[in-house]
Structure 1
């Protein structure tokens, strides 16, 4: 779409150089033919360096938009982004394209459904009931158990194991809210990238990125019933046990261990070689190389002392 046409469609005043807009990008990665946005002042440093053609921005940050980038100023930039995303959302299922290219030695069960332009490597096994969407790539030696769904545009590495019932690439939980309390869908335009030697347990949900990718790095192992929200990054060789939930844009360093039913708030970082004990609640970024527990989260030794003190206090009252 032309930028001026897009601005009119979402109800934003436009006064600048018109041009072709081919999609939406983050401030850090947007090209000169993409629209971006700023909602959180945490990303002002990315705004200063952005190459985006235009940026949706609130009035208080309009002056921070760099020269050469059109400022689309609005009181509700995130809501306008959600409206704009609808124009760039891919078709849920294409009718045109190539049939799947399946590598030598691969075994595909009857009843597996493929989208268009799928690439399957050598010695891959795909069991019954799976759906592999448009433009998916699966690396050599990967094993996909029954009833796995991989949405369009996702990439699965080599020698991965994905257990039954898991969904990779479903939409992240992204909505903008009007002043009247209605919820406007922010169409999820990114994908999921699963690197080599990753194992994902049964009935996990790995959301696609809003704009960029959700990434599970090499050698990570996920247990059953894990939820990874949009734009998360799970570091190399991390261990994520059952019923863990990661909120959007959580970044885990390498070799992070998360115990059962632990979880994170969004937009935070967990340092490499950190361990979160079962049911730990991470609400802010934490350093690596330590063991944490509890909610609010604290170092494990401190949490043990706290609980010992509470136990003694109760004994005294009795």
Structure 2
């Protein structure tokens, strides 16, 4: 899509702009001269000086901060404009165009499985009945994709990865921009999911693709059933996520983190190496390495246990006096 087409779609006069073919929407750090970025918060302005983006969606109040190397597209709501434009760059999961799948020696694709174009499946991997593999996905050696699992387009899966029945890898994250009238405009996610070697993902899990860039599950991590991992999350090596854990977008963890059942995080949280979070722990802040936490509001585990004991004693005492 050319820049002049984007300007016309947004209702902006193209006079004074230099036209070019826009390859896609990108984040500041990764953008190249053929990419379009957006700035909707002041905290991202510092990243402009190192960005190579060809053009930027920006509000009038921040227009003076845009370097001369970038063409500035002034819009009332950059986030909303980005949402509208994201649909033009969305992945086609099943384009029906491209090369037939490359199936490694000894790999098995069972009857009833669907494998899209430009897919690569490594040696001795098994794709079971009802599984769906989107275009351009790559699956390594000795993997097992169980019945009715769905691997969306361009997902990358390492070696010896097990994905159990009903899990969905690479669907869009939960992201919307909002109009003044209160309508919710979908943000199409144009990144991908990368799952490294020796990961096991339980049944009915969802791992969302990144807005741009990647969602990554690092080597050796084990994910129980019914876990939700939001867009742009990065899960460190050998992490364990127990059933019904929910991670909001851009959560990152160090290695060997353990999160108990129904624990969850807010967005843009970092959890340090070897941290343990008790079941139903609600993480709303960054956590330093080698610590243990629990409760809601979150507190260090020893403190939480003392608080819980004191609460039980107080309740028993109140019951006796009634």
Report the TM-score range of the alignment, normalised by the length of the smaller protein: over 0.9
In the alignment, which residue of structure 1 is the partner of 2:69? 68
In the alignment, which residue of structure 2 is the partner of 1:208? 209
- Structure 1 spans left out of the alignment, 5+ residues: none
User: What SS does the corresponding residue of 1:308 show, helix, strand or coil?
Assistant: helix
In the alignment, which residue of structure 1 is the partner of 2:166? 165
Matched, 1:9 2:19: no
Following TM superposition, by how much is the alpha carbon of 1:13 offset from its aligned partner in structure 2, in angstroms?
A: 5.7
Matched, 1:123 2:124: yes
8 Å contact 2:251–2:265 — kept in the other structure? yes
| RMSD of Structure 2 on Structure 1 (CA) | 1.5
Matched, 1:91 2:92: yes
User: What SS does the corresponding residue of 1:184 show, helix, strand or coil?
Assistant: strand
In the alignment, which residue of structure 1 is the partner of 2:30? 29
Structure 1 segments of 4 or more deviating over 4 A? 12-15
Following TM superposition, by how much is the alpha carbon of 1:12 offset from its aligned partner in structure 2, in angstroms?
A: 4.5
8 Å contact 1:48–1:64 — kept in the other structure? no
TM-score (norm 2): 0.94
Distance verdict in 2 for CA 1:155–1:38, change over 3 Å: same
Report the Cα distance in structure 2 between the residues aligned to 1:254 and 1:166, rounded to whole angstroms: 23
Following TM superposition, by how much is the alpha carbon of 1:75 offset from its aligned partner in structure 2, in angstroms?
A: 2.3
Report the Cα distance in structure 2 between the residues aligned to 1:12 and 1:232, rounded to whole angstroms: 35
Following TM superposition, by how much is the alpha carbon of 1:161 offset from its aligned partner in structure 2, in angstroms?
A: 0.8
In the alignment, which residue of structure 2 is the partner of 1:251? 252
In the alignment, which residue of structure 2 is the partner of 1:133? 134
8 Å contact 2:91–2:153 — kept in the other structure? no
Distance verdict in 2 for CA 1:268–1:42, change over 3 Å: farther
Report the Cα distance in structure 2 between the residues aligned to 1:298 and 1:60, rounded to whole angstroms: 40
TM-score (norm 1): 0.96
Matched, 1:104 2:105: yes
Indicate the larger mover: 234-243 or 66-75: 66-75
User: What SS does the corresponding residue of 2:225 show, helix, strand or coil?
Assistant: coil
Following TM superposition, by how much is the alpha carbon of 1:18 offset from its aligned partner in structure 2, in angstroms?
A: 2.7
| Deviations 1:216-270 (CA, angstroms, capped at 9, x unpaired) | 1111110000011111111111100100011111111111111000001111211
8 Å contact 2:188–2:211 — kept in the other structure? yes
Task: Kindly report which structure 2 residues correspond to 1:217-256, keeping only aligned pairs within 5 A, or say none.
Answer: 217-256=218-257
User: What SS does the corresponding residue of 1:87 show, helix, strand or coil?
Assistant: helix
Following TM superposition, by how much is the alpha carbon of 1:291 offset from its aligned partner in structure 2, in angstroms?
A: 0.3
Report the Cα distance in structure 2 between the residues aligned to 1:92 and 1:83, rounded to whole angstroms: 20
Report the Cα distance in structure 2 between the residues aligned to 1:163 and 1:53, rounded to whole angstroms: 42
Report the Cα distance in structure 1 between the residues aligned to 2:222 and 2:12, rounded to whole angstroms: 45
Report the Cα distance in structure 2 between the residues aligned to 1:248 and 1:12, rounded to whole angstroms: 32
| Number of residue equivalences | 318
Distance verdict in 2 for CA 1:314–1:13, change over 3 Å: farther
Report the Cα distance in structure 1 between the residues aligned to 2:274 and 2:282, rounded to whole angstroms: 17
8 Å contact 1:36–1:56 — kept in the other structure? yes
| Deviations 1:114-149 (CA, angstroms, capped at 9, x unpaired) | 110111111111111111110010001111111111
User: What SS does the corresponding residue of 1:90 show, helix, strand or coil?
Assistant: coil
Following TM superposition, by how much is the alpha carbon of 1:45 offset from its aligned partner in structure 2, in angstroms?
A: 3.1
Indicate the larger mover: 302-311 or 47-56: 302-311
Report the Cα distance in structure 1 between the residues aligned to 2:11 and 2:250, rounded to whole angstroms: 29
